[in-house]
C-alpha cells in the first residue's frame, strides 16, 4: 500500500472540504506558478519557480518537460532527485480526494530517473534511483531502484538485476 495519511470527512464528499484542508490563496498561487511553468521553455527557470514558489525539492539538472502538471494543493510534498527527466504531460499528485476521506502522501522520485510522457504518479509513491517508467504508466506503488516499469496497472517489466544479467549474455 502507498504511504498516505488518511483524513476522514463527515457529510459531503471530501472535495467539498477542500478549503478546510488547504488555503484558497495557496492554491491560487500554486496553480498560477504551475501553469506558467507548464509552458516555460527554460528548464533552469522552471526548476527555480518550483523550488522558490512551490517549496519543492528539485535536484540539479532535472528536466520537467512541457505540460507537466504538479499537485497544485501540496507541491511541497514532491521531491525529485538530480538529473531526472519528467516526460511530457505527466501528472504528479500528492493528494487524493475521495468520498469519505482525503489522503496525503509524499512523492519521492530518485536520481537519474526517466518518467515517460503521459504518466500519472499517485501520492505516497517512491521511485528508486535509475528507474525507468514507460510512457502512459499509472504509478500506483513503489518502483524499485533501476527497474523498468510500465502499464496500467503498472507492472515491473524487468529489475536492475535482470537487466544486468541480460547485458552479460
> Could you report the per-residue pLDDT of 62-72, keeping only the tens digit for each?
999 999 999 99
Tell me what pLDDT residue 1 has.
64
Determine the structural domain holding residue 30 and report its residue range.
5-168
Q: What is the reported pLDDT for 24?
A: 97
pLDDT of residue 169: 63
Q: First and final CA of the chain: distance in angstroms?
A: 36
What is the model's pLDDT at position 9?
A: 96
Low-confidence ranges of the chain (pLDDT < 50): none
Q: Residues 80, 58: contact at Cβ < 8 Å?
A: yes
Q: How far is Cα 74 from Cα 55, in angstroms, rounded to an integer?
A: 10
CATH number at residue 142: 2.160.10.10
Q: Report the pLDDT value the prediction gives residue 163, as an integer from 0 to 100.
A: 77
Cell numbers given for 145? 531502484
What is the count of structural domains for the chain? 1
Amino acid at each position: 500500500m502507498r504511504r498516505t495519511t488518511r483524513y476522514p470527512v463527515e457529510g459531503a464528499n471530501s472535495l467539498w472540504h477542500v478549503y478546510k484542508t488547504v488555503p484558497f490563496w495557496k492554491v491560487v498561487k500554486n496553480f498560477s506558478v504551475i501553469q506558467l511553468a507548464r509552458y516555460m521553455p527554460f528548464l533552469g527557470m522552471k526548476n527555480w519557480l518550483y523550488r522558490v514558489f512551490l517549496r519543492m525539492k528539485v535536484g540539479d539538472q532535472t528536466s520537467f518537460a512541457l505540460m507537466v502538471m504538479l499537485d497544485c494543493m501540496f507541491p511541497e510534498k514532491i521531491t525529485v532527485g538530480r538529473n531526472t527527466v519528467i516526460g511530457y504531460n505527466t501528472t504528479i499528485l500528492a493528494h487524493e480526494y475521495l468520498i469519505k476521506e482525503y489522503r496525503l502522501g509524499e512523492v519521492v522520485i530518485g536520481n537519474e530517473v526517466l518518467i515517460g510522457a503521459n504518466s500519472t504518479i499517485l501520492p505516497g509513491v517512491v521511485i528508486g534511483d535509475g528507474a525507468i517508467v514507460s510512457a502512459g504508466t499509472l504509478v500506483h506503488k513503489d518502483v524499485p531502484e533501476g527497474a523498468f516499469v510500465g502499464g496500467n496497472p503498472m507492472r515491473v517489466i524487468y529489475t536492475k538485476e535482470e537487466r544486468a544479467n541480460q547485458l552479460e549474455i
